[in-house]
Amino acid sequence: MSDGMLHILALAAAIAGMAAFAFMIDAHWRQVFGSRKQTALVRMVAKLCGAGFLALSFVLCTLADPVTMAILVWPMLLGVAAAIVAAFFTSRHGIDRRVDG
């Protein structure tokens, strides 16, 4: 697998992880899942998935580059991933009725 592909997968994993973390927040959960209840179990699963995907992202980064470079690439990818997830929720916010956080 080429380095470029690994980086893209690492970004995808980071996005998945950030999205999972976002679902721990009540307002964002309701934006996507509407009336389904957000229980403590859901929050824990979201937290675990989030951590898991971010860890996977890091592993993919280390496969693409030497470790000293991976530890620079990974946090930057996290920032991009969080921005993308935030943009998603912002766009949904406009479509749905106002959900006050």
13 binds other proteins (CB under 8 A): no
Whose Cβ is closer to other proteins: residue 7's or residue 30's? Answer: 7
User: Which residues fall within 8 angstroms of residue 77, CB to CB, at 6 or more apart?
Assistant: 7, 10, 11, 14, 57, 61
Q: In the bound complex, what is the minimum distance in angstroms from residue 67's beta carbon to other proteins?
A: 10
| Tokens describing residue 45 | 């699963």
86 binds other proteins (CB under 8 A): yes
Q: Tell me which residues in 19-78 interact with other proteins (CB under 8 A).
A: 22, 25, 28, 65-66, 68-69, 72-73, 75-77
Residues making contact with other proteins (CB under 8 A) = 4, 7, 22, 25, 28, 65-66, 68-69, 72-73, 75-77, 79-80, 82-83, 85-87, 89-90, 93-94, 98, 101
